[in-house]
Amino acid sequence: MTLTLQYVIDALNVGGLYALMALGIGLIFGIMRLINFAHGEMVMVGGYAMLLLIDLPGPAVVGVSILAVVALALAIERLAFRPLRDAAPSTLLVASFALSYFLQNLSVLLFGARPKPFVFASALATDLQVGPVRIALLQLVSMGLTLAALAGLTVLLKRTSIGVQLRAASQDFRAARLCGVRANSVIAFAFAISGALAWIVSLIYSAQIGQLSPAMGVRPVVIGFVATILGGLGSLVGAVVGGFFVGALAVALEAGLSLELRPFKEAVLFALVFLVLLLRPQGLVAVRALRERV
């Protein structure tokens, strides 16, 4: 019983992080048909921004580093993806791949390839004993942040005008534009949100791994990518569902696989992506506008 509870907590915790990642990727895919590999580099930049600002008071570190990531997201959109807006989805995919590589190596050039130890809030590393269950404070904080981010995003998307426009655009971009939705502002808004989501991931993820490196964004983006596809590309609910699903699956595989088989966890996840693409290409939560028309 206790063990099960521990697994559930772990799954929610890991899943929350993946859900945030998947949301950031899914948001952009929904309106632009772009799978943004460079999302991982936003996470990386968030980490390095915090490292550079570490001597400032806490709230300033948080505020300025969020601004830095959002500014990066907007710059990426303006400089790389806006000129390519009418290109084929596979061209966009290659472009984001190149961009991700560009940002990673820019970071190698500026900060060196070697990982840098980084602890933003060392107090988070303590463990809390709640009855029989052990919870790291970090886990509680990250779960709280994830929930707050999801709630905030829901309010933003359901209650504000730009949020409604964004949801409309992600259902049918052309029809939304015909109804007066401004393409540039809604896409820039989506990138800004995805930047903010990436910052939250960089806060939690860098605290979990305790270091920063130029390639640190690759793993989260690849897992987020899996979650987005399992959940259903283009669906925001699907991204969250997919994130928690992959989190649960990862914990289950970790617990269920024998020691020799454990390294193959990633292979199982990607084999699942392959199967989902073939058997249920619309994912767990289907989006109607994505069906290709002749």
Question: Which positions lie near another protein, rule CB under 8 A?
Answer: 33, 35, 80, 83-84, 87-91, 93-95, 97-99, 101-102, 104-109, 112-113, 214, 218, 222, 225, 229, 263-264, 266-267, 270-271, 273-274, 277-278, 281, 292, 294
Nearer to another protein, 209 or 272 (CB): 272
Smallest separation (angstroms) from another protein to the CB of 230: 11
**Residues pairing with 127 in the sheet:** 136
> Token pair for residue 112?
């060196």
Smallest separation (angstroms) from another protein to the CB of 93: 6
Nearer to another protein, 83 or 152 (CB): 83
Nearer to another protein, 74 or 108 (CB): 108
Smallest separation (angstroms) from another protein to the CB of 71: 19
Smallest separation (angstroms) from another protein to the CB of 33: 7
Nearer to another protein, 106 or 147 (CB): 106
Cβ atoms within 10 Å, residue 292? 4
Nearer to another protein, 57 or 263 (CB): 263
DSSP the chain: -HHHHHHHHHHHHHHHHHHHHHHHHHHHHHHH----TTHHHHHHHHHHHHHHTTTS-HHHHHHHHHHHHHHHHHHHIIIIISTTTTS-HHHHHHHHHHHHHHHHHHHHHHH-SS-EE--S-GGGG-EEEETTEEEEHHHHHHHHHHHHHHHHHHHHHHHSHHHHHHHHHHH-HHHHHHTT--HHHHHHHHHHHHHHHHHHHHHHHHHHH-EE-TTTTHHHHHHHHHHHHHH-TT-HHHHHHHHHHHHHHHHHHHHHS-TTTGGGHHHHHHHHHHHHHHH-TT-SS--GGGS---
Nearer to another protein, 123 or 278 (CB): 278
Which of 285, 135, 111, 145 is CA-nearest to residue 215?
111
Smallest separation (angstroms) from another protein to the CB of 271: 5
Smallest separation (angstroms) from another protein to the CB of 38: 11
Smallest separation (angstroms) from another protein to the CB of 194: 18
Nearer to another protein, 34 or 181 (CB): 34
How far out from the chain centre does Cα 206 lie? 14
Smallest separation (angstroms) from another protein to the CB of 222: 7
Which of 157, 184, 209, 130 is CA-nearest to residue 27?
157
Nearer to another protein, 42 or 229 (CB): 229
